[in-house]
Amino acid sequence: MTASTIGNILAPKTPFVQCPQCEQKLPLRMSGPERDSSAVWRCAACNVSAEGSCERALLMRNPQSVLLDLRYFEVSDQPEIDAEQRRSAGELANQPPTENEVERRRSTRVTQSLVAPAVALTSNFMPQGAPFQTVVANLSREGVGLVHPGRIEAEFIAMLLGAQEESPIQVIVRLVRHLQLEDPYFEIGGEFLLRLGSVSA
């Protein structure tokens, strides 16, 4: 066993983060020099901000207790994706499926035409990079079909589904497929992994 391995085993874990108001234990750890940089989250019970570093295993076990702060979905400074652009994106993505595609699908896809803000996540579900907008072309119980100008270079993203004034749903999505459509657009298939601030998706 190497010295670095021994050091990792003996090094104490950084403490959990508790909500500063309701004192609920959150699936976050206090940041330290050996951890990802921290992010701002919100306690789902009382909506108070808390800063910490997420661990994937912690959040997988307890996703209902936190939400990402809305700053990670702030896209008001970006050009609007208008109704015609959404319609065109939907037409590109929602071609009639082949018989094989229908057989592989676990549930029915429902055509959509809405814009959702999203942010790329690290493998530990920490936000990275600037938020962006993407078109939701279809939804099913298990996942989402997106149309985006270019690939999304991340395995995981967090998305905000629904208007912010109407209790939007935050979900973590695993991206499982990129299909080139009419240049520069890609159809991107995603699998719902977690619903934050509520039960698992």
pLDDT at 84: 87
Are residues 164 and 101 part of one domain?
yes
Are residues 49 and 28 part of one domain?
yes
Are residues 104 and 59 part of one domain?
no
Encoding tokens for residue 68? Answer: 């990402």
**Is residue 136 within a helix (H) or strand (E), and if so which, with residue range?**
strand 127-139
Beta bridge partners of 50: 41
Q: How confident is the prediction along the chain (201 residues), in pLDDT tens digits per residue?
A: 444 444 444 445 778 899 999 999 999 998 755 555 899 999 999 999 999 999 899 999 999 999 999 999 999 999 998 888 888 887 877 776 555 554 455 668 888 888 999 999 999 999 999 999 999 999 999 999 999 999 999 999 999 997 555 677 999 999 999 999 988 999 999 999 999 997 544
Rounded CA-CA distance 199/184 in Å is 36
Are residues 126 and 185 part of one domain?
yes
Which residues have C-beta within 8 Å of that of residue 176, sequence separation ≥ 6? 143, 189, 190, 191
- Domain-ending residue, one of 12, 35, 68: 68
Are residues 97 and 28 part of one domain?
no
Are residues 126 and 191 part of one domain?
yes
pLDDT at 121: 97
Are residues 192 and 157 part of one domain?
yes
Residue 201, domain member (yes or no): no
pLDDT at 88: 84
User: Model-level pTM?
Assistant: 0.83
Amino acid at 153: E
- Domain-ending residue, one of 46, 68, 90: 68
Are residues 136 and 159 part of one domain?
yes
Rounded CA-CA distance 177/195 in Å is 20
